[in-house]
Amino acid sequence: MSELTATIIAAHGRHYLADADGEKLQCVTRGKKTNVAVGDVVILKRTSNDQAVIEKIAERTTLLYRSDQYKSKLLAANISRLFIVVATEPSFADDLVSRALVAAEAAGIEAHIILNKVDVEPPLARARERAGLYGALGYPVHELSARARPEHAVETLMPLLAGQSSIFIGQSGMGKSSLINLLVPDADIAVREISEALDTGKHTTTFTRLYWLPGGASIIDSPGFQEFGLYHLTEGMLERAFVEFKPYLGGCKYYNCRHLAEPQCAVLGAVGEGRIAKMRHELYAQLLHESSQTLY
């Protein structure tokens, strides 16, 4: 049967759904490979009317993934923008936000922060202050409220999504699903269709899926997760993925400085003077430790 070029629009375990010019096909990989990500452009060989085998993955522009000691979990391929959704309440995890920003830097993906639920007044000042730390590093922070001001939310985000392949990530409870439903009015219907096609039953939130926007842009919605391991990043990648370290790299006494406890380290000097947040340096030290534990 003929070969087709398609985009992977959903993944659940080793089952994938591909979109070939509007035609949806259930796909599997040959053998036990699971190295396919949502957003991948693939070459398919049709095996029946609505089924195909993935023969080849086209070269990727970017790949976002997380990893623990034992394995890696692909999040999305060929994306240009990452939107991290945080909220005034419940409180968000700075560790998760920083890890996602480090992953984006390492992958060459532009990162943005969305501060949702700004209509909830009591925790707003504290949430703004915490989000402001990332704003000070140069990451744009967009304040909105999906529930109270939906039109404003759409007006704010649509220009940022135009012409881009974007992914939305965030802990559960941040309002990410509400935002996706505003931006993709038929998202619920699409999720049901994908669930049926992938035979996921009622587990509609456990798979990553891609929605097309007008003009060829796309949004990938990733399930909420509480951990973001970066065991795959090497020491060299890590120091460059903390944007605030960049002015000081090369300024240390020792050329192979790890920026942990070495004398006359320019990065540690900047931490001591408050030019690099202590919290971020502590995460860097933790990630260095993790990268030394890798087993795969």
Q: Which residues are annotated as a binding site?
A: 116-119, 170-178, 252, 257, 259, 265
C-alpha separations of 133 from 17, 65, 139, 209 in Å: 39, 24, 9, 30
C-alpha separations of 200 from 19, 20, 39, 55, 178 in Å: 18, 21, 20, 24, 22
What does the block give as tokens for 202?
């009622």
Rounded Cα distance between 157 and 132, Å, is 19
**Residues at the annotated binding site for GTP?**
116-119, 170-178
Per the CB < 8 A criterion, the answer to whether 74 and 35 are in contact is: yes
Rounded Cα distance between 104 and 159, Å, is 20
Count other C-beta atoms under 10 Å from residue 89's C-beta: 15
Per the CB < 8 A criterion, the answer to whether 118 and 179 are in contact is: no
Count other C-beta atoms under 10 Å from residue 174's C-beta: 25
Per the CB < 8 A criterion, the answer to whether 25 and 46 are in contact is: yes
**Residues at the annotated binding site for Zn(2+)?**
252, 257, 259, 265
What does the block give as tokens for 167?
């992914």
Report the run of H or E that residue 76 belongs to, with start and end.
strand 72-77
Assign 40 to helix, strand or coil. Answer: coil
Per the CB < 8 A criterion, the answer to whether 84 and 105 are in contact is: no
Look up residue 215 and give its DSSP letter: G
Q: How many helices (H) and strands (E) does the chain have?
A: 8, 13
